[in-house]
Chains A and B, each alone.
Chain A
Amino acid sequence: MLLETEGLTKRFGGITAVDGVDFALEAGELCSIIGPNGAGKTTFFNLLTGVLEPSDGRIRFDPPADDGARAEAGPTAAGGAASAAANGTGSAVDITAASPDETALAGIHRSYQITNLFPTLSVLENVRVAAQASRGNDSWKLWRNVTEFEDHYAEATAILERIGLAAEAETVTENLSHGEKRSLEIGVALAGDPDLLLLDEPTAGVSSEGVDEVVALIEDVAADHSVMLIEHNMEVVMDISDRIAVLHRGELIADGPPEDVRGDEAVQEAYLGGYGREGSAGDGSAVGGDADGDADGDAGADRDGDAAADGGRRASVGGDTR
């Protein structure tokens, strides 16, 4: 297993945003996380990347050992998690208490629901500075000009070509269109050469024509990365996911292949609201709330104050639950 969580729980005061989630991801999978706003999806990502510290439970991460292309985690790479990953032992490391920079060096990178880039830097520099981070000691070389590090620029240029922004390399990031910023979000996450890529609503606010481009990019990236995807657009989710996990009020209520999840009663009730049941909702509209307008919907989970009271309802779907 690439990633495993065990009874992962996050409480904000009396509110349980993520409630005892047991989840596992195989290397190479594309797993979508769906659920209504406030279900705890982004909180789940924040726990995995170390932005928030879990109240309870464990996270184990086991990156592939033979990832020789990465020259990361020099002596300055912080924490046991990162150095163990770089040693290539292949043994799982516990990243429960790791900080965001440690999880990033271990190989987990993410994109954000709300565009979160370096606004006044050029597009190329956004990706380059992210690529520099995974090259250990380079960032501490005070006395060498940054242009001497040609491999940083080569990698950044390659990534810009992959995400289709090569022509905008010198553009100041804040002048990009919204759709281009969404692509660059993924590009910056890619620059760290992730073993696991967490994409938080990559299509948020993208026009319907733009969605196809972003989806094509996700599929391209998923071909050589393990991906976890938070997405409200059900057509996209059903189309590209190997597996779907459904969060509701902080709990994992379903976890399995798309067709199984679609037919699951509990999921239908909690989230899908009839999607795909009689072929009635095949219009690809986002369900479970406004995908783009409600930016902070997941973070607080404050509208689900009775999450804990609703405990115990969990459906196992298909043969994929452990």
Chain B
Amino acid sequence: MIVGFLLYPLVYEALLATPAAPFAEAFLPAITFMVVVLYMGLFAMSFDFVSGYTGYLSFGHAAFFGTGAYFVVLAANGQVPGVPGGTPFMITLLLGATLAGLLALVIGSVSFRLTGVYFAMITLGFAQVIYELIRSWGYVSTNPTEGATVSGDALAIGVPYVDALSLDVGRLTGESVENLLGLGIDLSATVVSYYALGVVVVGCYFAMQRIIHSPFGRVMIAIRENEERARAVGYPTYRFKLAAFAISGFFGAIAGGIFAAYSRSVAPDGTFYFLVTADALITTIVGGFGTLAGPIYGTLFNQGLEDVLSTESGGIATLLREGLPPSVLEADLFGVSLELFVNTAVDGRAPLYLGIIFVLFVLFVPNGILGTLRDRLGGTVGKRLPYHLRRYRR
């Protein structure tokens, strides 16, 4: 999986240089979309960490994403008291994540008095309150409904204070690397950002994975399975839930922080709004609830679909418009020309199909992509795949 992500930009670039370029551009997600997969995937993983493993749906998870994103941007602009303007991004990222962890403790200490749908609703309520607050908080920027922008230099991922070990990220401001390690490979700014963000995401994934496999993680699963019994065998479940929620908020804020570093601007609608949580929920269900890595697959699936149906160049609509002869495009299809049909039914209609696919997933693949794969293989992919491959070789 990680190897796939590692090689993808190179494969993609290579394909664009071949005659198959129009098809590669149309059907494979562009690198800009893959960057979105990284930070939204991490956010969805942090959502899955608490929701998929303790069974408490955190519908206010956008609050943590937003906290991380806003903290990073405000710190870069020197607007956070106590954090000087030039503080390296990696440090402000961790500070923002810690702040989100504390916020999770506050929200959780109230919310975990409730269970089930009421827990989901009260966390959603908290997030919406914060969203409205941020939207009208003049301190953030002169136009708070539009959000804030990083005014200074690009933000760098790497070892703080060591320039050689840091990489600036951003679609326009990021560093590009020419002739990587003397191998003759040039990496554009977007690709460099992709790798830099990828390192953070992989690190966070392994950290969460490790916690899931610790005794603490087993308690989280026990709470999901049967909270009453978990208490009866001696676990103060309230504290365990709070701790899990704080950890989840921490990683959710990291996702927000790297998003802000990459996009260099944050808006309330893209961070604190409840549809951000809904994105994580949808991708988690598509990828597999309670699988941790599943949400990445789900995000990949969604973003891939969005790229294919994108209105920008590089979508299937463009391919059809440019690739088909005019006679076909003007052919009559139930009284409208094919071109008009493509424009209305394909071009930029990702949310429509995403909705349909989501419904189909909930109905027919309730365990998601990774969950179903694990069920079929009878274990985690890494453990069971060698066995199945051996069977096929015989």
Interface residues of A (CB under 8 A from B): 49, 51, 76, 78, 99-102, 104-105, 109-110, 112, 116-121, 125, 128-130, 132-134, 138-146, 149, 152, 188-189, 191-192
Pick the contact of B236: A101, A134, A138 (CB < 8 A).
Answer: A101
Nearest B residue to A128 via CB reads: B218
- CB neighbours of A134 from chain B (8 A): 234
Q: Are B219 and A49 in contact (CB under 8 A)?
A: no
A82 to B, closest residue via Cβ: B234
Q: How far is the CB of B249 from chain A (nearest CB, A)?
A: 15
* Of the residues B213, B218, B232, B236, contact of A109 by C-beta under 8 Å: B232
C-alpha gap A140/B242 in the complex (Å): 12
Are A104 and B234 in contact, with the CB atoms below 8 A? yes
Q: Interface stretch among B221-229, B327-335, B358-366?
A: B221-229
Whole-angstrom distance between the Cβ of B334 and the nearest chain A Cβ: 49
A-contact 0/1 string along B206-239, CB 8 Å cutoff: 0000110111111101100110111111111101
The reply to whether B233 and A116 form a contact with Cβ atoms under 8 Å apart is no
In whole Å, how far is A150's beta carbon from the nearest beta carbon of chain B? 12
Selected contact of B211 from candidates A99, A102, A116, A142, CB within 8 Å = A142
- Chain B residue contacts of A105, Cβ below 8 A: 234
A101 CA to B219 CA, complexed, in Å: 13
Among B215, B228, B243, the residue within 8 A (CB) of A132 is: B215
Of B214, B216, B232, B239, which is within 8 A of A100 by CB?
B232
The listed residue with most A CB atoms (<10 A of its CB), out of B219, B233, B234, is B234
- Say how far A94's CB is from chain B's closest CB, in angstroms: 18
Q: A129-B222, A133-B235 are in contact. Are A118 and B229 (CB under 8 A)?
A: yes
Tell me the nearest residue of chain B to A118, going by C-beta. B225
* Chain B residues in 8 Å Cβ range of A49: 232
Contact partner of A129 among B210, B219, B228, B239, CB < 8 A? Answer: B219
**Is A116 a contact partner of B229 (Cβ separation < 8 A)?**
yes
* A49, A101, A102, A149 interface centre (most CB from chain B within 10 Å): A101
Name A105's closest neighbour in chain B (CB-CB): B234
Residue from the list B210, B216, B225, B228 in contact with A139, Cβ < 8 A: B216
Contact partners of B214 in chain A: CB under 8 A: 141-146
Q: For chain B, which range describes its interface: under 10, 10 to 19, 20 to 34, or 35 or more residues?
A: 20 to 34
CA distance A116 to B229 in the complex (A): 7
Q: A132 to chain B: closest CB distance in Å?
A: 6
The prevalent SS among residues of B at the interface is helix
Q: How many angstroms from the CA of A146 to the CA of B218 in the assembled complex?
A: 8
Can you list 13 A-B contacts with CB-CB less than 8 angstroms, sorted by A residue number? A78-B239, A100-B231, A101-B231, A101-B232, A116-B226, A118-B229, A118-B230, A129-B219, A133-B235, A139-B240, A142-B211, A142-B216, A189-B233
> Distance (Å) between the CB of A133 and the closest chain B CB?
4
Report how far A130 CA is from B226 CA in the complex, Å. Answer: 12
Q: Complex formed: what's the CA distance from A76 to B237 in Å? A: 12
With A and B bound together, what is the CA distance between A198 and B218 in angstroms? Answer: 25
CB distance from B213 to the nearest CB of A (A): 5
Report the separation of the CA atoms of residues A272 and B93 in the bound assembly, to the nearest whole angstrom: 70
Contact, CB under 8 Å: A138 / B233: no
Cα(A149)–Cα(B214), bound, Å: 10
Ranked 10 nearest A-B pairs via Cβ: A104-B234, A133-B234, A118-B225, A130-B233, A100-B231, A101-B236, A78-B236, A133-B233, A105-B234, A129-B222
Most-contacted residue by chain B among A100, A102, A125, A149 (CB, 10 A):
A100
Q: How far is the CA of A149 from the CA of B221 in the complex (A)?
A: 17
A117 touches which one: B216, B229, B234, B237 (CB < 8 A)?
A: B229
A175 to chain B, nearest CB (A): 14
> In whole angstroms, how far apart are the Cα atoms of A121 and B223 in the complex?
12
What's the Cα separation between A78 and B236 when bound, in Å? Answer: 7
Partner of B237, one of A51, A101, A143, A191: A101
CB distance from B159 to the nearest CB of A (A): 22
Whether B218 contacts A99 by the Cβ 8 Å rule is: no
Tell me which residues across on chain A come within 8 A of B235, comparing CB atoms. 101, 133, 139
Contact of B233 among A76, A99, A121, A188 (CB under 8 A): A188
Interchain CB contact under 8 A, B218 and A129: yes
Q: How far is the CA of A306 from the CA of B31 in the complex (A)?
A: 74
Residue of A whose beta carbon sits closest to that of B217: A146
Question: Other than the known A76-B236, A132-B218, A132-B219, what 7 A-B pairs have Cβ atoms closer than 8 Å?
Answer: A78-B236, A101-B232, A105-B234, A132-B215, A146-B218, A191-B233, A192-B234
Q: Which residues of B contact A188 (CB under 8 A)?
A: 229, 233
Bound Cα distance A101, B241 (Å): 14
Nearest chain A residue, comparing its CB with the CB of B232: A100
What residue of chain A has the Cβ atom nearest to residue B211's Cβ? Answer: A142
> Of B225, B228, B237, which is within 8 A of A119 by CB?
B225
| A118 to B211 Cα, complex, angstroms | 20
